[in-house]
């Protein structure tokens, strides 16, 4: 079992202003956990929704486990996130405002071997905000180059 699971949503910080983060457990089937531990999952296009007081992650891709029998999971099925009621209430209140969303940032293995997901309350960035971030990144790179010389 590999302890270094590195499944990230790399564009999340570029596309959104992140307000608050939570760590959530995720309800998985046996073949899903085996595929995730092999690193065959993606959360790049995933997002979270609240239905009937429960938080669900949608559009998360988990490849089918190659050693599974005829019974295997669906690659893009909705999966339930495990949070307590206070956190769900806070998320639900935040999502009532237009333009706010809940996105996954990274998936990791906890010390006890459970798969966890970092999720963030986020607001979409405007085009000028993205340009500003790119300009800051370029300026930082130029400063590091100058310091290295």
Is residue 54 within 8 A of residue 19, CB to CB? The reply is: no
The yes-or-no verdict on residue 1 having pLDDT over 60 is: no
pLDDT at 68: 67
State pTM to two decimals.
Answer: 0.79
Q: How far apart are CA 36 and CA 108, in angstroms?
A: 9
The full set of domains in the chain, from first to last, is: 7-148 (2.40.280.10)
Two structure tokens written together for 38 = 């092999």
- Render pLDDT for 2-54 as a digit per residue (tens, 0 to 9): 467 888 998 888 888 899 999 999 998 888 888 888 888 889 999 999 999 99
pLDDT at 126: 84
Two structure tokens written together for 9 = 């949503």
- Render pLDDT for 36-48 as a digit per residue (tens, 0 to 9): 888 888 899 999 9
The predicted model gives 64-72 an average pLDDT of 73
């Amino acid at each position: 079992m590999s302890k270094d699971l590195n499944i990230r949503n790399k564009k999340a910080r570029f596309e959104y202003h992140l307000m608050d983060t939570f760590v959530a457990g995720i309800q998985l089937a046996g073949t899903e956990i085996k595929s995730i531990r092999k690193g065959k999952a993606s959360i790049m296009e995933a997002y979270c929704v609240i239905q009937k007081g429960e938080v669900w992650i949608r559009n998360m891709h988990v490849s089918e486990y190659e050693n599974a029998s005829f019974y295997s999971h669906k690659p893009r099925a909705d999966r339930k996130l495990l949070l307590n009621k206070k956190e769900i209430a806070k998320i639900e209140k935040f999502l009532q405002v237009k333009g706010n969303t809940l996105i996954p940032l990274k998936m990791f293995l906890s010390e006890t071997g459970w798969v966890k997901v970092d999720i963030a309350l986020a607001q979409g960035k405007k085009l000028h905000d993205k340009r500003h971030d790119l300009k800051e990144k370029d300026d930082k790179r130029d400063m590091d180059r100058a310091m290295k010389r």
